[in-house]
């Protein structure tokens, strides 16, 4: 019986993290995404906690410079999203519900995202050559997740359905990146995000159907 309990404890330690920071970040992240999927405004403060801890780990532990920059800027972005949801949710002019972008806007968004990834990677490489930052790891993949995080976050603040497509790419790449960097806890975390992202897409789509009916 003791061995079984120990085995369960080890399994949960592996999933949640091996340090108090990793455990706190994991729980905050999962709870935050779940609440956003439910269109609950309380998801944003949990995102702020996750971002602050993740910045420290990405910069000082894993040398994922793009991700570290992302997490540092994620705090004001989360505050912005929090404010938008609060204002739009309180407005009586029109219901603040999920919606798709026009196809032309989708194409422009895709093109702009590809250009932004290339520009971000070039900028990080330049800073590294000047020795202003450490040598980046997994440059293109890391840059892609960084840029798409910004794009998806902005779309999520406006309740645009395309945000879940962006998160799908980010989460799949995140699983790969952190597995390669020998951080299984964050790989598992992004696997949770992948499932929650699909859940969020279904919940927002259901919300759209309810409004139309």
Position 211 scores a pLDDT of 62
Sign of the Cα torsion 106, 158, 191, 24 reads positive
CA 80 to mean position of chain CA atoms:
15
- Please state, in angstroms and as integers, the Cα–Cα distance from residue 163 to each residue in 22, 51, 171, 177, following that order: 26, 18, 12, 21
15 has a pLDDT exceeding 70:
no
What confidence category does residue 213 fall into, taking pLDDT thresholds of 50, 70 and 90?
low
Number of neighbours of residue 104 by Cβ within 10 angstroms: 8
How far is the C-alpha of 167 from the C-alpha of 190, rounded, in Å? 10
Residue 8: its pLDDT value, please?
A: 40
Spell out the alpha helix ranges (H) of the chain.
2-16, 20-37, 43-60, 65-90, 103-129, 139-157, 162-180, 184-212
pLDDT of 93 above 70: no
How confident is the model at residue 185, as a pLDDT?
72
Q: What pLDDT, in 10s, does the model give residues 135-187? A: 778 889 989 998 998 899 899 988 999 999 999 999 999 999 988 888 787 78
Interatomic CA distance for residues 90 and 39, integer angstroms: 14
* Model pLDDT, residue 190: 86
Is 180 within 8 Å of 119 (Cβ atoms)? Answer: no
Per-residue model confidence as pLDDT tens digits over 39-63: 898 899 998 998 889 888 888 877 7
What is the residue-averaged pLDDT of the chain? 83
pLDDT band at 90 (very low <50, low <70, confident <90, very high): low
- Res 1: pLDDT: 44
- The mean per-residue pLDDT over the stretch 182-198 comes to 84
Rounded to two decimals, what is the model's pTM?
A: 0.76
């Amino acid at each position: 019986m003791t061995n079984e309990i120990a085995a369960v404890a080890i399994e949960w330690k592996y999933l949640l993290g091996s340090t108090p920071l990793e455990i706190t970040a994991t729980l905050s992240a999962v709870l935050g995404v779940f609440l956003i999927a439910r269109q609950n405004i309380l998801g944003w403060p949990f995102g702020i906690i996750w971002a602050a801890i993740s910045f420290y780990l990405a910069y000082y532990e894993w040398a994922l410079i793009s991700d570290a920059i992302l997490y540092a800027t994620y705090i004001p972005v989360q505050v912005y999203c929090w404010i938008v949801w609060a204002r739009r949710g309180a407005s009586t002019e029109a219901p603040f519900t999920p919606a798709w972008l026009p196809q032309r806007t989708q194409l422009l968004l895709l093109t702009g995202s590809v250009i932004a990834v290339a520009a971000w990677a070039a900028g990080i490489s330049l800073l590294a050559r000047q020795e202003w930052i450490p040598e980046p790891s997994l440059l293109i993949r890391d840059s892609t997740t960084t840029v798409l995080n910004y794009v998806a976050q902005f779309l999520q603040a406006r309740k645009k359905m395309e945000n879940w497509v962006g998160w799908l790419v980010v989460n799949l790449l995140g699983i790969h990146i952190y597995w390669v960097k020998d951080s299984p806890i964050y790989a598992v975390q992004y696997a949770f995000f992948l499932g929650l992202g699909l859940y969020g897409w279904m919940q927002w789509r259901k919300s759209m159907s309810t409004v139309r009916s």
